[in-house]
Amino acid sequence: MSRHGGKSVAKAILVSSVLPYRLKTRDNPAGTEQAAFDKSADAIRKDRARFFTGFFKTFFGSGTSPNPVSEEVLDWAWGIAMQASLKATLACARSFSSTDFRGDLPAFNVPTLIVHGTEDKTVPIDASSRAAAKGIAGCTLVEYEGAPHGLFATHKDRLNTDLAGFLAR
């Protein structure tokens, strides 16, 4: 939004977003410690297939979500993740863990919907969407009680209804 001034953007939607900043620093005490990201990167380097098997169980809240996904959804997500190269996977993880979007939040000058699950263990809501909502004027934060990061699959009907309603307004 800030790089292009929101050109041609009428509305914005952030779903389970990493904004505003994931990394714990002196000026971002609610972030995640670098050591946690390093541990994930090491696990990806050691055995990417195994890492993603566990990762997607957390991502979709397997065993904890009130709307569990099937083994086939877990397999589908794993298959997509395994198609990326190791280099690209590590670069993606580094990007989402260390890119600081805090300065971009005021540039959201369009109606903005933020949707996030309260049981997101991948991107905790307090350090992400709740913080982003404080920095985006006039946004609407919708919290899905008990939802994991992969709420697009676990809460798809509600999400589609919320998205369609927001876009229709």
CATH of the domain at 46: 3.40.50.1820
Domain that holds residue 52: 12-168
Structural domain contains residue 1: no
Q: What is the pLDDT along the chain (169 residues), one digit of tens a residue?
A: 888 888 999 999 999 999 999 999 999 999 999 999 999 999 999 999 999 999 999 999 998 888 899 999 999 999 999 999 999 999 999 999 999 999 999 999 999 999 999 999 999 999 999 999 999 999 999 999 999 999 999 999 999 999 999 999 9
Q: Nearest CA to 20 among 113, 111, 109, 98?
A: 98
Q: Where are the beta strands (DSSP E) in the chain?
A: 12-15, 112-117, 140-144
Structural domain contains residue 104: yes
Neighbours of 157 (CB within 10 A): 8
Structural domain contains residue 7: no
Neighbours of 97 (CB within 10 A): 19
Q: How many domains does the chain have?
A: 1
- Mention every residue, 6+ apart, whose C-beta is less than 8 A from residue 128: 17, 18, 19, 20, 22, 116, 120
pLDDT in tens, 107-119: 999 999 999 999 9
